[in-house]
DNA sequence: GTAACTGCAAAATATTTGCATCCTT
DNA sequence: AAGGATGCAAATATTTTGCAGTTAC
């Protein structure tokens, strides 16, 4: 796992540090999206708030993780499993929020549908957020 | 217009006050979503920050307006044109964000598609957010 | 050795709560 | 008159910025 996180960091020209490896490991081992406060509070890792902000921001910029728009406007982050690169996120999967366990998941196999828009509109990106009950809670 | 805003407030069992009429009028006359800071800063209305928070919250609860999930996690609000009621928002329209003018619009005529989920998942609500260039900017 | 990263302090921003006063009904 | 709404002060939460010390390369 360590090799893995180091490889990801190296590939993205980020220097290999303890904090970055920790955060990346949590993403790799955790099934579902994570929030800033997950890192700051839980997981018994006690990371510095500011460092977490900067790390998450760096990861988003490099295309390692992506943010997920949510109904309650909390900021959720999840690993990019698509071919994202610095400055270019190209996700087509949908996101799912469980109303029961409150977890957010990327459903990587389900791609966003084509949306027909009125004349004059051009489409760049489509985000789909589904709310319901996940398979674990059901 | 005044009659209109008063009617909406009355129908939702909210007492008719100046602030509520102002905010409601801005929603009715503005094409596109609005944010908290639109009310606090722009429009030359100088409304109290806290009152704006409470008013928007009350309107959301009553089903007069709804929030729109956005990629940058700013909180956007728009009028409910569907049959929403207290505690029950039932939108099926999609939302569009223009990358150029940064405005967010409800595309009321375009309803969200059915999304096929893996076994075990049940769907409650589907949100679609399209990013691109709007007809005005195009 | 140098550039990049971290962690602390502090600033800036955003949101919530309490309460006295005012307005709607 | 009574209950709800407003607006101010202040508490709390969130995010950003600056900088000195530390670490990666």
Instruction: Report helix, strand or coil for B94.
Output: strand
Which nucleotides of strand C come closer than 7 angstroms to any CB of the protein? Answer: 4-10, 14-18, 23-25
Size of interface A-B (CB pairs under 8 A): 121
For residue B74, name the pLDDT band (cuts at 50, 70, 90): confident
Q: Residue A138 is nearest to which of B70, B122, B129, comparing CB atoms?
A: B122
pLDDT tens digits for range A65-100: 999 988 888 899 999 887 778 878 888 999 999 999
pLDDT above 60 for A1: no
**In order of start, what are the domains of chain A with their CATH numbers?**
2-132 (1.10.10.10)
The Å distance, CA of A58 to C1' of D14, is 19
A91 or A9: which carries more pLDDT confidence?
A9
- The string of pLDDT tens digits covering residues A14-37 is 999 999 999 999 999 998 999 999
Q: For residue range B75-129, what is the model confidence (pLDDT) as tens digits? A: 999 998 867 777 788 789 999 999 999 999 999 999 999 999 999 999 999 999 9
Q: Which nucleotides of D are covered by protein (CB under 7 A)?
A: 4-10, 14-18, 23-25
State yes or no: pLDDT of A120 exceeds 80.
yes
Phi-psi region of B108 (alpha: psi -120 to 50; beta: other; left: phi over 0): alpha
């Amino acid at each position: 796992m360590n090799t893995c996180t180091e490889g990801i960091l190296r590939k993205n020209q980020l220097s290999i540090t303890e904090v970055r490896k920790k955060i990346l490991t949590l993403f790799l081992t955790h099934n579902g999206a994570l929030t800033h406060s997950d890192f700051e509070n839980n997981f018994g890792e006690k990371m510095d708030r500011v460092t977490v902000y900067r790390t998450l921001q760096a990861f988003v910029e490099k295309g390692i993780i992506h943010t997920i728009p949510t109904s309650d406007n909390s900021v959720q982050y999840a690993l990019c499993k698509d071919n994202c690169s610095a400055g270019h996120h190209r996700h087509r999967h949908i996101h799912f929020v469980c109303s029961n366990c409150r977890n957010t998941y990327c459903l990587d196999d389900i791609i966003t549908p084509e949306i027909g828009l009125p004349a004059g509109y051009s489409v760049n990106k489509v985000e789909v957020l589904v709310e319901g009950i996940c398979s674990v809670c059901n």
